[in-house]
Amino acid sequence: MDCETLSAKYKSYMPDGDVGLLEKAYLYSEEAHSAQKRASGEKYFIHCYAVADILLDYKLDLPTVCAALLHDVLEDTAISVEQFQKEFGEEITRLVQGVTKIEKFKFSSADEETAENWRKMLMAMAADLRVILIKLADRLHNMRTLEYLPRERQEAIAYETITLYAPLAQRLGMFALKAELEDLSFRAQHPQEFDDLSRQLESTQQHRLQILESFKAELEKHLAQHGIPHRVLARTKNAYSLYRKMKTQSRSFEDIQDSLGVRIITDSVADCYALLGFVHSYFKPVAGSFTDYIALPKMNLYQSLHTTVVSSTGNIVEVQIRTEEMHRTSEYGIAAHWRYKLGKAGRDAHFDEKINWLRHWIEWLQDLTSPREFLESLRTDMELQQVFIFTPKGEVKALPKGATPLDFAFMVHSEVGEHCFGAKIGGKMVPLDYELKSGDICDILTRKNSSPRPDWLKMVRTGRSRSKIRKYLREHGLGEEV
């Protein structure tokens, strides 16, 4: 654990970068925290180092890595904001202030305290998305060292992590980080189940790897005939995702069929579809398993073709097909787009467009005044189970599972939502709180004298819809109680 290691890691992806600021931040943080210890008895600075190291894995820019090293200086030491800003400038100070925990506020309930902390964090996020990347890395390292805290504290932190931080990491497309947060939370909350499942995974690991290697070899042999550039990677599910599937589907470990998978990475969208055709021509697809997230990306920018096939040995294998850029987004999520925005010549020209959904989402959440409703909307909007709904003209809109025609109306346009009085699905009238299903063709009926009512708040599921309804009710003095 030394500054040279961090500097070399940064230079590996930013060879022309000036590591002088990184070295300064390292020494400043080490000195500021020199008298502090963690619950494990280790020097506190080890935590700051680890957070920076995690963000270097995501190839983030220098101010973010420096802010990670310094993220607890303002909160945990006597150094003033003025002193700090003089040393490190406005940008790093702003990032550190965004990450700093909120301890000066007093709240009447745990719900209010949690909601207010998240509201403040999301506001900081709206100003600079790098704040949440530091916060997630901070939480990840704290989860890795959770065993040194009292049992009750472990369970509380694990619950918050799995209900809010892990879904947020997923919402940002940071799947590897999300999976580790889930597994660490699972271990803290259900240690016996975690140990049992880990033993099952370990005992079958060699067999599963043999199946995957055999399938990969057969797949490569077939695909090599077609001259399409590609590489094949193996994939296995994390422990928590298997546990959740076993619980929700009431199935045993042996019955979970899609725990094996491969990813095919290629050079273009056209080649993704070509490779899909070849995969299906050599291996029988499982009926109903194909999903096209390239034509219809997930809300967090994730794109890939998903299909499940039966191998020649009778094993079920999930196949994901994507381009190199899609794979980078899958691995690094929003961090990938931030990095490329900051790279030479602004390599990701569509960065602002790609993260626009996130800024809008944060704005909608800020409009919710009830702490309980704020947390409910936060959790709902972070779920990535989606339904795809069509307008009568054939346009498709992605909404969270459980969304209603009112959500769809506000997704089409604010005015459509405000003047909605009814909805038709497939030509038949349905209630405004009808639960939409993928493939539904939804026709929103409007009239000028129709307007939002307080009871609409009970009928919608998304933060966007709630925000628009509340705004209308406030502006027209109609109240918000439901």
CATH number for the domain harbouring residue 104: 1.10.3210.10
Q: Tell me the pLDDT band of 171, cut-offs 50, 70 and 90.
A: confident
Average pLDDT along the chain: 84
241/374 same-domain check: no
DSSP assignment string, 47-73 = HHHHHHHHHHHTT--HHHHHHHHTTTH
Mean pLDDT, to the nearest integer, of 287-311?
A: 87
Mean pLDDT, to the nearest integer, of 237-253?
A: 81
Could you report the per-residue pLDDT of 75-126, keeping only the tens digit for each?
888 899 999 999 999 999 989 988 875 334 444 456 666 666 666 666 666 6
Mean pLDDT, to the nearest integer, of 299-328?
A: 89
Q: Which residues, other chains included, contact 460 with Cβ-Cβ below 8 Å and sequence gap of 6+?
A: 403, 404, 406, 407, 410, 466, 469
pLDDT at 77: 87
Q: How far apart, in whole angstroms, are the C-alpha atoms of residue 221 and residue 231?
A: 12
Q: How far apart, in whole angstroms, are the C-alpha atoms of residue 158 and residue 164?
A: 10
Q: Which residues, other chains included, contact 418 with Cβ-Cβ below 8 Å and sequence gap of 6+?
A: 450, 451, 452, 468, 472
Whether residue 394 is contained in a domain is answered as: yes
Whether residue 345 is contained in a domain is answered as: no
Whether residue 208 is contained in a domain is answered as: yes
Q: How far apart, in whole angstroms, are the C-alpha atoms of residue 100 and residue 74?
A: 7
272/308 same-domain check: yes
124/232 same-domain check: no
Q: 61-65, 96-100, 293-297: which has the minimum mean pLDDT?
A: 96-100
Q: Which residues, other chains included, contact 26 with Cβ-Cβ below 8 Å and sequence gap of 6+?
A: 3, 6, 49, 69
Q: Where are the alpha helices (DSSP H) in 283-429?
A: 324-332, 334-342, 351-354, 356-366, 371-382, 405-412, 414-418
The H or E element that residue 429 is part of is strand 428-430
Catalytic residue among 23, 75, 155, 435: 75
Q: Which residues, other chains included, contact 31 with Cβ-Cβ below 8 Å and sequence gap of 6+?
A: none
Three-state secondary structure along 3-39?
Answer: HHHHHHHHHHHCCCCCCHHHHHHHHHHHHHCCCCECC
Q: Read off the CATH number of the domain in which 281 is found.
A: 3.30.460.10
373/309 same-domain check: no
76 is catalytic: yes
Q: Which residues, other chains included, contact 456 with Cβ-Cβ below 8 Å and sequence gap of 6+?
A: 406, 432, 469
Number of domains comprising the chain: 3
Strands 316-323 and 260-266: parallel
105/213 same-domain check: no
Q: Tell me the pLDDT band of 189, cut-offs 50, 70 and 90.
A: very high
30/80 same-domain check: yes
Whether residue 170 is contained in a domain is answered as: no
256/304 same-domain check: yes
Q: How far apart, in whole angstroms, are the C-alpha atoms of residue 452 and residue 432?
A: 12
pLDDT at 139: 93
360/463 same-domain check: yes
Whether residue 167 is contained in a domain is answered as: no
DSSP 109: S
Tell me how far apart the terminal alpha carbons of the chain are, to the nearest angstrom.
56
CA pseudo-torsion sign 400, 403, 408, 409: negative
Position 381 pLDDT exceeds 50: yes
Q: How far apart, in whole angstroms, are the C-alpha atoms of residue 59 and residue 61?
A: 7
Q: 149-158, 407-416, 469-478: which has the minimum mean pLDDT?
A: 469-478
Whether residue 419 is contained in a domain is answered as: yes
73/144 same-domain check: yes
Catalytic residue among 76, 87, 258, 292: 76
Position 50 pLDDT exceeds 60: yes
The last residue of a domain, from among 300, 316, 332: 332
Whether residue 339 is contained in a domain is answered as: no
The three-state secondary structure class of 242 is helix
Whether residue 184 is contained in a domain is answered as: no
317/360 same-domain check: no
Position 338 pLDDT exceeds 70: no
211/97 same-domain check: no
Domain hosting 397: range is 356-475
141/209 same-domain check: no
Q: Read off the CATH number of the domain in which 388 is found.
A: 3.10.20.30
Position 427 pLDDT exceeds 50: yes
DSSP 448: T
pLDDT at 124: 62
325 is catalytic: no
The length of the chain in residues reads 482
